[in-house]
Chain A
Amino acid sequence: MQSTESFFENIRNDFPILKRTVRDNKPLVYLDNASTTQKPTQVIDAIVDYYRNHNANIHRAVYALAEESTEAYESARDKIANFVNIKNRQELIFVRGTTEAINLVAYAWGRSHINKDDIIVTTEYEHHSNIVPWQLLTQEKRAKLEYIGMDDDGQLILDDLDKYLATGKVKLVTFSLMSNVLGTITDAEKIIAKCKAAGVPTLIDGAQAVPHMKVDLETLGCDFFAFSGHKMLAPTGIGVLWVRKSVLETMNPFHGGGDMIREVHKYETTWNDLPYKFEAGTPNIADVIGFGAAVDYLTKIGMDNVRQHEIELTKYAIEKFSKIKGLQIYGTKDISKRGGVISFNFADVHPHDVAQIIDEEGISLRSGHHCAQVLMERLNVAATSRASFYIYNTKQDIDALIDSLNTVAKVFKL
């Protein structure tokens, strides 16, 4: 391999969008990767090729196109399973994204496994998609939702988990493997060990972690795992729910319809095999194939290299940020415990104003509550600015961000 820096510099050539300019002819500096990532030519071409040359519905017809289409769809399933080390492809269900995956679990597993006074435990740094489905479920079942608190360094307080597990009423513990606001990498090993000892199943929201580091589901040992394609170079509208087979077999279908059945009679139906029982209707075939191409692309780079690249960028950014007067970074400064997501506030300037002013310089920075209002409340802020990195970002991108913050300082007379 070439030197890491020039290797990652070359990667930029694979992303057509990075060649465009924005606003007043400014080069695009895209720093909102925790929200969604850009797509390489290889992924765009895979989708176009599917529609131009192979489009047909899957799992049904016997003609050539249908065979090609089915083969492409199912081989993407194998690639993605392999990418996160899922041993049994029957456990990998395609969904729209992490949000749908968690809702599927809340509906198809939760409704038959959660009862009055049971406890579901989540954490203070979850995305709304790992809070609201559990509020809906616990309200319906008159069960309870409890939170593992977070300390000032952005780490979970696992004593809280012990306290809830000791009640014997916990039926599910659900947490994000990486916070989308603070970048904190959760100590999943410890949480799962505690839950296993108490016989409690665990769900992991892997939306932020899978795109940025090697994740091995076999080693992790959780029971449910969800992630999204679009945060890892794949198209929007496609994601994965993995459920351990012994658990999956206890679950009712989520949606009824085509492809999920074995036999339909007037008043009763038998279900198709796993995973098809949970994939009702014509799925998002083209984007599954695009997801497969994205996984090929990341596999070629190597997830350890992706992680290393982001560690370098994050370290560089934190060092530079620390020198700016009035700039407050949230979360830990220990790089080994965080991913490439940096939330900050700049003096008394509202994050929306920061984002709008630096947008003039071509910089795409996220501002707001990042779908984590419970965390905003914990941090006692209305909003933060957030920079999040990916494989195509460079130290120059971070320099451009720092320069643009000088404009903010000027406008607001800091």
Chain B
Amino acid sequence: MSNADIYHEMIVDYSRNPINYGEIENHDVTFHDSNPLCGDSIDIDMKIDDQKVTDIKFHGKGCAICMACSSVLTEITKGKSLEDVRKIEKNDILSELGLEHLQAVRIKCALLSLKVLKSALYTYIAKNMSDLEGMDKLKDEAASLY
């Protein structure tokens, strides 16, 4: 795959019209992170009821890859149980957008929002549960994504 082929219709459309873009005022958890080298910066807000993500929104600044992946990630996450959200892997996002072979230097653009999501979940669980074992695993997962 040529590198320029990653800029297909779907990526460009999502970058112009991201899905689930914005803030949730009375969120149950929010998390922010950025990529120090490129300056991409993402916040994710979630509303969680009965161990389910009932609403999720993201906002921030990023390239087309970052915006498209954040859109897809929030779409996948919405309505899922926390247990299922924990199971979301990087390939679930990348394959959805045909980005499985994204070069190393751009992978951090694609996965920043997943890192933020995992960290947000960690924050939520830390606040609400005593599931220490699961928490540490989540933290490690977020830290070792890329």
| Residues on A facing B (Cβ under 8 Å) | 23-24, 348-353, 356-357, 359-360, 367-369, 373, 376, 382-383, 407, 411-413
Known: A348-B16, A356-B106. 18 other contacts (CB 8 A): A350-B15, A350-B62, A351-B63, A352-B38, A352-B109, A353-B15, A353-B63, A353-B64, A356-B3, A356-B4, A356-B6, A357-B4, A359-B3, A360-B3, A367-B38, A369-B38, A382-B40, A382-B62
Interface residues of B in 112-140 (CB under 8 A from A): none
List residues of chain B with CB within 8 A of the CB of A24: 2
CA–CA, A100 and B7, complex, Å: 40
Looking across the interface, which residue of chain B has its beta carbon closest to that of A360? B4
User: Cα distance A383–B7 when bound, in Å?
Assistant: 19
Point out the residues of chain A lying under 8 angstroms from B37, CB to CB.
368
Within the assembled complex, what's the spacing in Å between the Cα atoms of A407 and B12?
14
Number of A-B contacts (CB under 8 A): 55
Residues on the A chain within 8 Å of B62, using CB: 350, 382
Closest chain A residue, CB of each to CB of B16: A348
SS of A interface (majority): mixed
A66 to chain B minimum Cβ distance, whole angstroms, is 42
Which residues of the partner chain A approach B64 to less than 8 Å between Cβ atoms? 349-350, 353, 412
**Chain B interface residues toward A at CB < 8 A:** 2-4, 6-7, 12, 15-16, 37-41, 61-66, 106, 109
Closest to B103 in A: A356
State the 7 A-B residue pairs at the shortest beta-carbon distance, nearest first: A350-B63, A352-B63, A360-B4, A382-B61, A369-B39, A353-B64, A411-B7
Q: How far is the CB of A23 from chain B (nearest CB, A)?
A: 8
CB distance from B68 to the nearest CB of A (A): 10
Complex interface: chain A residues within 8 A of B16 (CB): 348
Q: How far is the CA of A411 from the CA of B11 in the complex (A)?
A: 10
Residues on B with C-beta less than 8 A from A23 are 3
- Collect the chain B residues with CB atoms within 8 Å of residue A411's CB: 4, 7, 12
Residues from chain A with a CB closer than 8 A to the CB of B38 are: 352, 367-369, 383
Q: A24-B2, A382-B41, A412-B12 are in contact. Are A357 and B7 (CB under 8 A)?
A: yes
B52 vs chain A, min Cβ distance (A): 33
- Cα-based distance from A348 to B63 in the complex (angstroms): 10
Enumerate 27 A-B pairs (CB-CB under 8 Å) in ascending A order.
Answer: A24-B2, A350-B15, A350-B63, A350-B64, A350-B66, A351-B63, A352-B38, A352-B106, A353-B7, A353-B63, A356-B3, A356-B7, A356-B106, A357-B4, A357-B7, A359-B3, A360-B4, A367-B38, A368-B37, A368-B39, A369-B39, A373-B39, A382-B39, A382-B41, A383-B38, A411-B7, A412-B64
How far does the alpha carbon of A382 sit from the alpha carbon of B40 in the complex, in Å?
Answer: 7
